[in-house]
Amino acid sequence: TVTPSLAISSGINAEYGGSLAKRWEDFGNVPRRSHLSVDIKVLAVNRDTPRDRTKFRMMNRKIRSVLPWVTLLQDNPASNVWDALGQFHFENWGDHGNETIKFKSRRNDFYMVDKWGRMIRFMRNGILNRARISGPQTNLNWRDVVHHDFILAKEGVTVCDELQVERLLCRMSEEWSLNGRTFRDLRSGTSLTILIFIRADMEEYTTRGLLADVISLSGRWSAPSYVVIVDSNEPSTSSFATVDLLKQTENADITLLLDEDNSVASKYLAAPGDVVATDELGRVIGLFNRANLADATTVSQLESLHVNWNPDCEAYTYATVSTASAPYYSTSGWWASGK
C-alpha cells in the first residue's frame, strides 16, 4: 500500500502531528465520521547539528505516546535532508515582489506529500495546535486545512491538478529522453501523442486498469502515438518486466518506458492514472486526471484533439491574452475559454 506523509521538523510539532494522525485514523471506527478518515504517516527530521543531536533522545521521549504514527529521523551528512529541501529559490519575492531569494530550511517547516511522493503543500512555521489559524478571513485551523487536503488526496485530488493546467496546458514542454528514446522521435509522424502514467505493481493501472485500456484502444484506433511511462518507484520498477511481457503478449502498438527518478512524471506534475495529450510540436493540448480510457467520452475528447487540435490554445499561439481569458479546468477533463 502507499500512504500519504506529513514531514515536519520539531519534537512538539511531531507530537501534534502524531496525535492528529491517530485521531484521523480512528474516524474510520465511527460510522458518522468514517468519510473523514485518512491514513497518514508523520516523518520528523532532526537537524544535523551538535546542539540538535543532543535533543534527539528528548524528542523520542516526547513522541513515545504516538510512536505507531510518527517516525523520528536523525539527519546526517550522507542524507543531508535539511539542505536538500533547501535547493530551490522563491521567485518574485521580497518587499517589492521582484526578488529571487534562496530558500533555507527552518525548524517547524512542514511538508505535505501525497501517496505518489508529490509535495502538495508547504507551510513555513507550520504549527498544528488549535491556536494556529489559517488566515484572518477564516476561523479554520491549519490542522483542519491539512485534514481537508488529505481527504482530497485520498481520492487523488491535489493542487497538482490545478498546477498542471496553469503551467502546462497550451505550452511547449521541454524535450526529454528515456531508455534511449527521445520525446521528439516518439511524437514524429503523428499529430497526437498520448502520454499515459502508470504504476507497474498495481493491477488497477495494469491488467485491470489503464494499461489494459490503452492496449485495447490502440487496437481500435492506431492514429496516435501511445507512450506508457512507468513510475520509477522500487516496487513499480521490479514489476516492469511483467507489464512489458503483457504488452508483447498482446502485440500492442504502444511504447513502454521506465521513468528515471520520475523525471518525466515531475516535468508534467503527473501521478499514476494521469493522461497527457501533446501535439506534433510537443505542446500540451489536453490533460486528464485519473483517466478512464474505457470511457467513450474520454476517447471522443482525445479524437477531437487529434482532428481539431485544442482551439483554446490558439490564444497562446497568435496573441497575448490576459489571465481572464486563459483556459480553465473543468472536472470533466475538458477545457473552455474563460471569456
Cell matching residue 179: 531508455
Average pLDDT value for residue range 70-86: 84
- What band does 333 get if pLDDT is binned at 50, 70 and 90? very low
Residue 106 is predicted with a pLDDT of 78
How many CB atoms neighbour CB 274 within 10 A?
A: 25
What tens digit of pLDDT does each residue of 216-249 get? 999 999 999 999 999 999 999 999 999 999 999 9
Reference 56, options 77, 37, 75, 40; nearest CA is: 75
d(CA 78, CA 187): 40
Q: Minimal CA–CA distance to 112: which of 163, 162, 45, 42?
A: 42
**Rounded mean pLDDT, 180-206:** 94
Taking the C-alpha atoms of residue 256 and residue 310, their distance in angstroms, rounded to an integer, is 26
Q: How confident is the model at residue 318 (pLDDT cuts 50, 70, 90)?
A: low
pLDDT at residue number 90: 72
pLDDT, residue 324, reads 34
Average pLDDT over residues 100-118: 82
Q: Which residues pair with 122 in a beta bridge?
A: 111
Reading the block at residue 160, the C-alpha cell is 497538482
CA angle 281, 215, 228 (to 5 degrees): 45
